[in-house]
Chains A and B, each alone.
Chain A
C-alpha cells in the first residue's frame, strides 16, 4: 500500500468515525482495548493494554486515530490498562464464538468466491444460534458480522461469564460434536410398564437431534406407499430388505413408542447410528475453538470498520439474521455517496451494495465503497483524481 492510499484511507476512516454510531459493549471501562494503526509496510503493530481511561471518549478517540482495526477484550478486568495479563486481574469474560470462512468445510480461501464464503458462514451461524438459543437457552446474545469473512456471537449471560477455559472447551466440543460417543446416545430405561427398553436419550443434546431426525423420517414415510417407503429406507447403508420391512412396520404401527424414544421396535436403534453422521454434518457449526477457549481474547468492536475490507463490523438484530446480506448491509453509508478513481493491479469483479462492478487492470472510477474494498485488500492503489 503506497502512502497516498494510506493517507486516503486514514482520512476516510476518520470521516466515518466522526459520524459513526458506535455500539460499545457493556462494562466498556472494565475491558482492554486495542487497535492496529495504518502503517507502512506489510507488518502490523497492535497497540493494546489500553483502558477506556487511557483512550478518553471512544468516539473522539476513534475519529482522531482513525485506526485500521479496533478491538476490545471479551474479558473484564480490575485494571484493564495494566501492561501484563497478571496485573490486569481477570474478573470474567463473555463467551465468544467465531465463525471464520477459513475454517468452514467446503471453503477454500484461495478459490471460493467472497460471497459464497459469506453464505457458508451464514449457514453455520444459523446452526450455531440454534444451539445457543435452543440447547443452551442463552438470553444475552450479540450477533455480529465481523466485517471480514465471518460472524461473531457474544454471549453475556451471567451463568457463563466466569467459566474457565476447560469449561468453554466443553461447549465447543458440544457444538462441534467432538468426542461424541454414539453408544452414549442410547441407554436402557424402563418404559411405563417397567420393562427395560433400549431408549434413545432424547430429552436433549445430540440424542434429541437424532430423535427429531428419526421422527422426521417417520413423517416422510407416512406420506408414501409401501414400495416407495421401503425404497427410501433401503437408501441407508446396510439396510436390507428385511430390516427395511421391520422399520416400516415400526414406523407405521409403533409411532408412539418411537416418539417416546423407545428404539426396540423394528430395530430402530440401527437407524440411530446410521443417522448420526448425517445429523452431525448438517447441524454442527464449525466454530473456531481457540477463540472461544481464550479467556483474554480481543474481538472486533461492532460499529467499527474492518481495515481489510472497508466493511462495517455490524451488530445484527436477531430477527434480521435470516435476511442479513453482508455485501449490502455492511457497506457503510459514508462510502456510498461518491465515486473515486483507483489503480487496480489486475481485473476483478466486485459485488457490493447490490451492484456488480467490473474492474479492469489500470485506472477505474468506481463507487467509493468498491474503491475502498479494493484498496484495503491490497488489490488497488489510490489514483490521483
Chain B
C-alpha cells in the first residue's frame, strides 16, 4: 500500500493503521536506526504536551512516511510516560490538529481547485470513519458542492460525544431535538468529531511497552529525552489557590519571561507555555491574561489557545513546571538563588505573598477592575435606555435585567474610592 498524504494527515484512520501494517516496517528497527519518524514522534508528543497541537514546527522536513510512522512511535512514547494526564493531553492535541485538518479539507471541498494537493477527506468519509454516517444527516438541500450549514445528529451519538460541561448551549434541554436527531451547526459537528478523534487516539493508551526483551529494548532506546517530558507532567503538587496578582512578587524566572515578552522578544513555545501555566496557576482567567499580556510579543489567539489547553476540561489545571524542569529547558537559572525560598514558581510566589505586608502591594486586578467598570458603566446604561423605549406596558423583563446590571456596575465602581484613585 502506498503511503499517501491522507495517511500522514490522519494517522489514526483505519486505512492508515492498515498502511502501517502493510509497510512491514518494524518499529524497533526504526527506533534502533534513529529513523526520522522517531524524531518526528518525539516532536509530536512534545508539541502535544507543550502547545496542544501535533503539527510539526518544520513540516517540510518530514516525508509522508515519517509523519505516518511518527504516530505509532508517539503512542509508545505516551505509553512510556504512563500518566493519565499525558494521555488526555496528547489525545486532545491530536484531536485538535485533526479537527483543523478536517475543517480545512471539508471547506476546501473537492472541486479540483485544492492548492495544497494533499489528498483531503470529505465529511462523509470522516463520518464513515467514526461510524457516524448513518446517524448524521445534512439538513436541507444545499447546492451540489456547497458544504451544508446544519446537520442532524442521532441523539444517542450526540449524547455519547457531547459533554454538558462544554456549555449550556450543548445541554440537550436547550437543543432542537426532533425525530430522534439533534440539530447542530457545522462548527458544532466539528467539535463532536474532535471528541470522536480524541477517543480514538486515547483508546488503548497507555499500553504496556516493557515486559518482553524486545519491549524493554524499545523502551530503553526511547527513554532518552523522556525525562524532560515526564518532568512537565510530574509537577503536580497541590499548591492551593492563590488568586492574587502582584507582578512585583513573581519569581525571577517568570518576571524574566514577562519582560522579554513585553520587549517584543518572541518567546519559544515552551517559554510561552511556562508563562501561561504560571499565570493560569495563580488564578488569572483568560481575559485577565489577555489584558496582562497586551502590548507584548504574545499574540492573543496563541494565548487563548494555550489557556484553553492548560485548563483541563475536568476543571483541574495543568500546573506550571517546577524550577528544576524549567532549568532543564534553560528557562530558570536559579536567579538570586530563589530556589532557596522555593523551587517551584507557584510555591515561591505564594511564600513571597505571605511574607509581604498586604498594604504594601497592589493587586494588579484592582487597578484593572476600576478601569473596566468605568468603561462598562456607559455601555450598560445605553442598553437600559434602549429597552425603556421598547417596553409598551412596563412588563418587559429584559429591560429590568439590564437596568439592574447597570445599577450594579455603578455601585461597584462607586463603592470603593480607592479604586477610583487608582484609575
**What is A's interface to B at a CB cutoff of 8 Å?**
134-138, 157-160, 162-163, 166-167, 169-171, 173-174, 177-181, 184, 201-208, 237-240, 242-243, 270, 273
The answer to whether A181 and B160 touch across the interface, beta carbons within 8 angstroms, is no
Contacts of A170 in B (CB 8 A): 159, 162, 164, 171-173
Contacts of B157 in A (CB 8 A): 159
Known A170-B173, A184-B174, A273-B397: A162·B159 in contact at CB below 8 Å: no
Contacts of A177 in B (CB 8 A): 173
Which of B83-91, B175-183, B277-285, B329-337 forms part of the interface with chain A? B175-183
Interchain CA distance A204-B162 in the complex, whole Å: 18
* Least CB distance, A176 to chain B, in whole angstroms: 8
Chain B interface category by residue count: 20 to 34
Interchain CA distance A180-B172 in the complex, whole Å: 9
Top 8 A-B residue pairs of the complex, sorted by shortest distance between their CB atoms: A159-B156, A238-B395, A204-B178, A137-B180, A240-B393, A204-B176, A167-B159, A184-B174
Which chain B residues (155-169) contact chain A, with CB distance < 8 Å?
155-157, 159-160, 162-164, 168-169
Contacts of B178 in A (CB 8 A): 134-135, 203-205, 208
The answer to whether B169 and A184 touch across the interface, beta carbons within 8 angstroms, is yes
**What is B's interface to A at a CB cutoff of 8 Å?**
135, 154-157, 159-160, 162-164, 168-169, 171-183, 392-393, 395-397
Q: In chain B, what residue has the closest Cβ to A173?
A: B173
Interchain CA distance A160-B168 in the complex, whole Å: 22
Known A166-B164, A243-B393: A180·B173 in contact at CB below 8 Å: yes
Q: In chain B, what residue has the closest Cβ to A237?
A: B395
* Least CB distance, B395 to chain A, in whole angstroms: 3
The answer to whether A136 and B175 touch across the interface, beta carbons within 8 angstroms, is no
Interchain CA distance A321-B397 in the complex, whole Å: 42
**Known contacts A158-B156, A180-B173; can you find 6 more A-B pairs with CB under 8 A?**
A159-B155, A159-B156, A174-B177, A179-B168, A208-B176, A242-B392
Q: In chain B, what residue has the closest Cβ to A159?
A: B156
The answer to whether A205 and B392 touch across the interface, beta carbons within 8 angstroms, is no
* Least CB distance, B397 to chain A, in whole angstroms: 7
Interchain CA distance A201-B175 in the complex, whole Å: 9
A-B contact pairs, 29 of them (CB 8 A): A134-B178, A135-B177, A135-B178, A135-B179, A136-B155, A137-B179, A137-B181, A157-B156, A160-B155, A162-B160, A166-B164, A167-B160, A167-B162, A169-B164, A170-B172, A179-B171, A179-B173, A180-B173, A181-B173, A181-B174, A201-B183, A203-B178, A204-B177, A204-B183, A205-B178, A206-B173, A240-B392, A240-B393, A270-B396
Interchain CA distance A255-B177 in the complex, whole Å: 24
Interchain CA distance A174-B180 in the complex, whole Å: 13
* Least CB distance, B392 to chain A, in whole angstroms: 5
Q: In chain A, what residue has the closest Cβ to B150?
A: A203
The answer to whether A239 and B160 touch across the interface, beta carbons within 8 angstroms, is no
Contacts of A158 in B (CB 8 A): 156
Interchain CA distance A179-B183 in the complex, whole Å: 19
* Least CB distance, A244 to chain B, in whole angstroms: 10
